Amino acid sequence: MRVLARLFKAYAKHQWHLYVVTLFLIGVEVVLNVYLPQLSRAIVDTVVESTSDLSFVRSYLFSQSLLYLVWGLIRSVVVFVEIYLFEKTAETVSLKIRRDLYDHVQRLDFSFHNKARTGDLMSRVTSDVQAMRELAGFGIVQLVYCLLMILLVVGWMVYCNPSYALACLMSMPLLLVAAVRYSARSGPVFRAIQDQIASMTAKVQESVSGIRVVKAFAQEDHERAQFGKENDGILAKNLQAAKINAFYHPAMDFLASLGGVGVIWYGGRLYMSGALTAGDITAFLSYLWMLIWPVRSMGWVIGMFQRGIAGSQRVFEVLDERRRISDSRGSTPLQRITGRVHFDDVTFSYDSGEKVLDHFTLEIEPGETIGVLGMTGSGKSTVGALIPRFYDADSGTILVDGVDVRNAELKSLRSHVGIVPQDTFLFSASIRENIAYHDPNMDLERVIEAAKAAQIHDFVETLPQRYETVVGERGIGLSGGQRQRVAIARAIATDPKILILDDSTASVDAETESAIQESLREIAKGRTTIIISQKVSSVRYADRIVVLKDGRIVELGTHEELMARDGFYSRLHAAQTGSDLSSIEASGEGMVV
Amino acid sequence: MSFHDEEPQTRGFDPAIARRLLGYLRPCTKQLVLAIVLVLSASAISLVGPLITRMAVDDYIMVGNMRGLDLIMLAWLLVLGTNWFISYWRIYTMSWIGQRVVHSIRRDLFEHLMRLSFDYYDKVPVGKTITRFTSDVDRLNELLTSGIVNVVSESLMLIGIMVIMMRLDLRLALLCFAVLPVLGYLVTGFRSKITRSERDERTKVSEMNAYLQENISGVRVVQAFCREDENLRRFDKVSRAVYDAAMRVIYLFSFFWPCVDLTSVIGTVAVLWYGGLQVANGSLSFGTLIAFIAYVGQFFGPIRNLSQVYRVLQRAMAGGERIFRLLDTEVSIKERPDAVELPRIKGDVVFDNVYFAYEGDNYVIRGFDLDVKAGETIALVGHTGAGKTSIINLLSRMYDVNEGRILIDGHDVRDVTLSSLRKQVAIVLQEPFLFAGSIKENLRYGKPDASDSEIESVCKRLGIDDFIRRFPLGYDTEVEERGSKLSSGQRQLVSFARALLADPAILILDEATASIDTYTERLIQAALRELLKGRTSFVIAHRLSTIREADRIVVVENGTIVEQGTHDQLIKARGQYYHLYTMQYARELNVGAS
């Protein structure tokens, strides 16, 4: 109930006038419906009980038929406006929810997205919003319509002839029970079918994606058996649903027809005893047919409400997710910066788990190139993620040009930081749009300049549509190295004062790596550059190198200084270059898996 | 999940596809006959309803025959009860048939997928393949469970109604039929307008979903580049397009229903007016009038369903075509009918003048000759695209050679059964692929009957027993699809153990150590050396330090061997390998720089 209230308060309130008009029209429609059998009753009675005056009958029939036509016309107009209005209201509601949901999701913190799965978020924006739309539109309208119809028609029938009404309506409560039970029983089964289909799809997806492994181990039979189970599951669940359908649908038909039998049977007897006219019977028959649809649909109106409420809950759950990283009241925009970065006694952990950075202190001069070296889990990527404030430190401060990042306006802070993330994500858009991602209005010259600096320009020139070539999922495929360089161009296109390269050369081969490194030396000029890597070769040229282990700095200095020491760095260097195979094994260090 | 649904092309009835579909129905012939009988009886019963009312009114109520009324009402109840029974079996049997057929089609699809060779997987994206199992199959199901039977039963219904009406009163019947063209136009012409705009709406929805999908997966980049405001503007645009398309559908719909309604009102009014006159002058019975009104109301259903049939058929044909195209995709790597089990091999491998092209005569392997003795470790070295991976793909017969042959222990790989070959050749790939399930299940993948102690001993030898045990559930830890608990290095180690557990005579490592960090690689190097003993192995790696220990280094360029020998020999020779090695070494050591 609270969820419903929230749904209407947040998304339907300002459309209250549309709801009022729609509800008024429903009322009109119901009254029109109830009036019709009165019309046909008069016609039938005139015709059946006709006394000799044929010309009267003729003119009466003509005028009544005309009235019937006018009735039909009015009703059609009313229904037209009604459908249009409530669907429009519902569509507007879903437009708004979609917008809010998307905007909220795209601004939620990294820590939220680390846990959330894209597929799950997608299903909230699509099917859950759809369920809410149905509830806010058709669901409400149908509920009101059905209740009004049942109330008015039953009331009118009882008013006209209580005992006859009772005989005709006897099966209606049973029909209602059947309709509600049907929706209660079939709902879970249909959901189970959906789940089973999703599970089958996942199996196909897995077997196809892993086909190399399947074939390499000659495990086709194993996969076949697993798929067979999923496939059998779908069959079994569908047959279960078929049984429910096969029982309830004919049962509801039967109960509905039972009313008709009552009307004719009991009505016929009353007619014979002279207590009813032929018109009364036809009127009651029409009333009964009118009732069946509202009663039967009560079942799925309830189901629609349940789905709508469940969907609303899932949507509100996301909307209630709080953004922890946002501008505080006193935040000021960072104007020009020099690029000085200061980590002051920073401790950080993801979701208060193990400490990833442990009292980390480091002062980076403007224009300096810093290499951050460490193995998986050493906390090196976190160093890069804290500067543009993707996360907030648990304790300690990070200062950019002396300003605590938490006091800097987020947008201005991030626009000073260019980042090349570990897995290069490019959008399905042209290369130009990808490089100009930060500022869609960037002129082509600047894009080309960035591409040249990232050493991807020559390659782009070989493409048929050059900078307008679409890449990404729906465009041409680029190799890892090419993607990497586009990502570098994207990061430097706005000329950021601080550049962070997070393990950018991990997935490229040696040749590409050296090409990228070549260009980096140029790019790094005039910027504070932070190169994060697990390879000595990537950080070797840095002004200073920080070696991280378990979130702590274990070594700090230039390449030469660190090489002179017989520490982690020099041993790693030896291992990675293969110049001394035994050193690592002998040292027994680095049991990091 | 794929959000890009392919719209069916407009195509008509295809007898070839229909014939194949009928083939799937053959095992259910008995049920099909039963279903048809049930459907026909159900239609007949719904036709009889108004006639019973008519009889009750005219023959009993109007003449005051109370006993007769009781009898006919009892008979009606009986008919209704029978209808319940018949309908139960009709619905169940129809679903049963549809689901059976769809079940077999899905089974056949998967069977075929498992047989298909890499040339299929190289070309077709996963999403497309999955669509065959979901929406295409659904479309066939739609045709089977409602389409075919609808054509028969609804046409009969319509004809039945018309015949009965004409027999009751020809002139009144003809008057009623006057509304049929209008109704016909509404449910076919107008309806197809709605269908078109619905299709447009679906396209807009899938565009929006694609936008969402991309920008949610790339949300980190979005935030890093402060694109939230711009992206919201863009989302508004695509979302608005969905709204506009939906409103168009809504507009048509809100027009459609009242029109249908009005048409049947007109029909009813015509019956009331004209029929009423006749009842008044005694030429028509009151019961017939009531029956007529009931029949006018029954027109709509069959016409609507018949109008859908063509669309259902079209969609099913398009779906069927795609499904059968997949089923007809030729398996390029086939076992010979006389293929023999490859006996337990020692591991002698001979590449004899091998030529290979993925497509046409674009050869990636040209005249490759290599003689490998059992137990030898061969390192394949060369630039990206030199053909190293192609060579090893040929060895486990993932593709077939165009010319020449590959012999294992003297057996041509094309003469033996695929599973006996592949079970003795294990591959560790650059991108480790693990299946949903526990670590243990993944380790057992190549050897389903491996005992727990066997698994543990392999893991201990590889030095990964420790890290697996560190998980609270140990070997039973679930390897989740994405939000994986294992780092890529750990996944690679698991895939190593998986390969070794299969105890292959030939082991192939394709860039297998690329995602393992240097420390770990060093750690398992010793174990690997141990495990490579007694096995023929092929190692592809970029890192030359990994390669130096091989028995023989083979330098590949443009699909052919340019040099081979031990590390020392090749360094002395000062050829291609020397060049590669010194370049790499220079890069790694930064010799000569700064």
Q: pLDDT per residue over B217-235, tens digit each?
A: 778 787 877 788 888 888 8
The pLDDT score that the predictor gives to residue B475 is 85
Residue B45, chain A, CB below 8 Å: the answer is no
Q: What is the mean pLDDT of residues B129-148?
A: 80
> A385 and A368: one domain?
yes
Residue A130: closest CA among chain B residues belongs to which residue? B205
List all residues of chain B from 296 to 325 with a beta carbon under 8 Å from chain A: none
> B65 and B113: one domain?
yes
- Using the predicted structure, report yes or no on whether residue A108 has a pLDDT greater than 60: yes
* Pair type for strands A498-502 and A528-533: parallel
Under a CB-based contact definition with an 8 Å cutoff, are residues A313 and A67 in contact? Answer: no
Under a CB-based contact definition with an 8 Å cutoff, are residues B554 and B381 in contact? Answer: yes
List all residues of chain B from 136 to 155 with a beta carbon under 8 Å from chain A: none
> A221 and A364: one domain?
no
As a whole-number percent, the residues of chain A with pLDDT over 70 amount to 92
What is chain A's alpha carbon radius of gyration, rounded to the nearest angstrom? 36
- Using the predicted structure, report yes or no on whether residue A300 has a pLDDT greater than 60: yes
- Using the predicted structure, report yes or no on whether residue B10 has a pLDDT greater than 80: no
- Using the predicted structure, report yes or no on whether residue A544 has a pLDDT greater than 80: yes
> A67 and A193: one domain?
no
Question: In Å, how far is A141's CA from the nearest CA of chain B?
Answer: 14
The pLDDT score that the predictor gives to residue A519 is 77
Residue B27, chain A, CB below 8 Å: the answer is no
- Using the predicted structure, report yes or no on whether residue B591 has a pLDDT greater than 50: no
> A471 and A525: one domain?
yes
Half-sphere exposure of A44 (CA within 13 A, CB side): 25
Judge if ipTM > 0.85: no
Q: pLDDT per residue over B369-426, tens digit each?
A: 888 888 888 888 877 677 888 888 888 888 888 888 998 888 888 888 888 888 888 8
> A480 and A510: one domain?
yes
- Supply the mean pLDDT for chain A: 82
Q: Is residue A315 part of a domain?
A: yes
Under a CB-based contact definition with an 8 Å cutoff, are residues A179 and A299 in contact? Answer: yes
A84: domain CATH number?
Answer: 1.20.1560.10
Residue B451 has φ and ψ, to the nearest 5°, of -80, 165
Cα-based distances in Å from A159 to A155, A162, A421, B496: 6, 6, 75, 83
> B105 and B165: one domain?
yes
Question: In Å, how far is B202's CA from the nearest CA of chain A?
Answer: 12
Q: Is residue B238 part of a domain?
A: yes
Question: What whole-number distance in Å separates Cα of residue B317 and Cα of residue B320?
Answer: 5
List of chain A residues whose C-beta atoms are within 8 Å of the C-beta of residue B3: 122
Residues pairing with B370 in the sheet: B351
> A212 and A63: one domain?
no
- Single-letter residue type at B91: I
- Using the predicted structure, report yes or no on whether residue A145 has a pLDDT greater than 80: yes
Q: Is residue B478 part of a domain?
A: no
B586 band by pLDDT with thresholds 50, 70 and 90: low
B387: domain CATH number?
Answer: 3.40.50.300
Residue B402, chain A, CB below 8 Å: the answer is no
> A379 and A527: one domain?
yes
> A147 and A213: one domain?
no
* Pair type for strands A395-400 and A403-404: antiparallel
Residue A549, chain B, CB below 8 Å: the answer is no
Asked if A438 lies within 8 A of B96 by C-beta distance, the reply is no
Question: What whole-number distance in Å separates Cα of residue A577 and Cα of residue A555?
Answer: 20
The pLDDT score that the predictor gives to residue A319 is 87
> A180 and A75: one domain?
no
The pLDDT score that the predictor gives to residue A237 is 92
Q: What is the mean pLDDT of residues B95-124?
A: 85
Question: What whole-number distance in Å separates Cα of residue A189 and Cα of residue B192?
Answer: 33
Q: What is the mean pLDDT of residues A9-35?
A: 87
Asked if A577 lies within 8 A of B589 by C-beta distance, the reply is yes
- Using the predicted structure, report yes or no on whether residue B578 has a pLDDT greater than 50: yes
Under a CB-based contact definition with an 8 Å cutoff, are residues A345 and A395 in contact? Answer: yes
A540: domain CATH number?
Answer: 3.40.50.300
- Single-letter residue type at A396: G
* Pair type for strands B506-510 and B478-479: unpaired
To probe the interface with B, which of A54, A62, A102 has the most B CB atoms within 10 Å?
A102
Q: Is residue A542 part of a domain?
A: yes
To probe the interface with B, which of A47, A473, A498 has the most B CB atoms within 10 Å?
A47
Under a CB-based contact definition with an 8 Å cutoff, are residues B544 and A578 in contact? Answer: yes
Residue A333, chain B, CB below 8 Å: the answer is no
> B41 and B190: one domain?
no
Largest pairwise CA distance in chain B = 121
Find the CB nearest A540 among B87, B129, B590: B590
The pLDDT score that the predictor gives to residue A589 is 34
Q: Could you list the residue range(s) of the whole structural domain that residue B244 is in?
A: 170-283
Residue A102, chain B, CB below 8 Å: the answer is yes
Question: What whole-number distance in Å separates Cα of residue B403 and Cα of residue B352?
Answer: 9
Q: pLDDT per residue over B530-546, tens digit each?
A: 667 778 888 887 666 66
Q: Is residue A516 part of a domain?
A: yes
List all residues of chain A from 217 to 276 with a beta carbon under 8 Å from chain B: 217-220, 222-224, 227-228, 231-232, 234-235, 238-239, 241-243, 245-247, 249-251, 253-254, 257-258, 260-261, 264-265, 268-269, 271-272
Asked if B239 lies within 8 A of A98 by C-beta distance, the reply is yes
Q: How many domains does chain A have?
A: 3
Q: Is residue A177 part of a domain?
A: yes
The pLDDT score that the predictor gives to residue B7 is 45
More confident residue, B542 or B206: B206
- Using the predicted structure, report yes or no on whether residue A527 has a pLDDT greater than 70: yes
> B278 and B309: one domain?
no
Reading the block at residue B28, the tokens are 């259910």
More confident residue, B102 or B134: B102
B84: domain CATH number?
Answer: 1.20.1560.10
> A218 and A347: one domain?
no
Q: Is residue B440 part of a domain?
A: no
**Residues listed for chain B:** 594
List all residues of chain B from 410 to 469 with a beta carbon under 8 Å from chain A: 418-419, 421-423, 425-427, 429, 433, 435-436, 445-446, 448, 463-464, 466-467
Question: What whole-number distance in Å separates Cα of residue A174 and Cα of residue A153?
Answer: 17
> B37 and B108: one domain?
yes
Q: Is residue A80 part of a domain?
A: yes
- Single-letter residue type at B64: G
A299 band by pLDDT with thresholds 50, 70 and 90: confident
H helix runs in B218-227, sequence order = 219-224
Q: Could you list the residue range(s) of the whole structural domain that residue A536 is in?
A: 341-587
Residue B94: closest CA among chain A residues belongs to which residue? A242
Q: What is the mean pLDDT of residues A474-502?
A: 79
> B2 and B63: one domain?
yes
List of chain B residues whose C-beta atoms are within 8 Å of the C-beta of residue A234: 99, 103, 106
- Using the predicted structure, report yes or no on whether residue A303 has a pLDDT greater than 50: yes
Cα-based distances in Å from A454 to A222, A388, A473: 47, 22, 22
To probe the interface with A, which of B393, B518, B523, B542 has the most A CB atoms within 10 Å?
B518
Q: pLDDT per residue over B313-369, tens digit each?
A: 877 888 888 888 888 888 888 888 888 888 888 888 899 889 988 877 778 888 888
> A378 and A477: one domain?
yes
Reading the block at residue B566, the tokens are 């031990």
- Using the predicted structure, report yes or no on whether residue A432 has a pLDDT greater than 50: yes
B461 band by pLDDT with thresholds 50, 70 and 90: confident
Find the CB nearest B483 among A117, A254, A415: A117
Residue B591, chain A, CB below 8 Å: the answer is no
B482 band by pLDDT with thresholds 50, 70 and 90: very low
List of chain A residues whose C-beta atoms are within 8 Å of the C-beta of residue B114: 207, 214, 220, 223-224
* Pair type for strands B552-557 and B560-565: antiparallel
The pLDDT score that the predictor gives to residue A580 is 40
Q: How many domains does chain B have?
A: 3
> B55 and B120: one domain?
yes
Reading the block at residue B86, the tokens are 């018949």
Find the CB nearest A264 among B53, B250, B588: B53
Indicate the helix (H) or strand (E) that contains A403: strand A403-404
Residue A190, chain B, CB below 8 Å: the answer is no
> B91 and B192: one domain?
no
Sheet with A417-420: strands ordered across: A417-420, A498-502, A528-533, A369-373, A544-549, A552-557
- Using the predicted structure, report yes or no on whether residue A530 has a pLDDT greater than 50: yes
> B153 and B232: one domain?
no
> B127 and B244: one domain?
no
More confident residue, A476 or A339: A339
Question: In Å, how far is A264's CA from the nearest CA of chain B?
Answer: 8
> B365 and B312: one domain?
no
> A552 and A434: one domain?
yes
- Using the predicted structure, report yes or no on whether residue A423 has a pLDDT greater than 80: no
Q: What is the mean pLDDT of residues A13-29?
A: 88
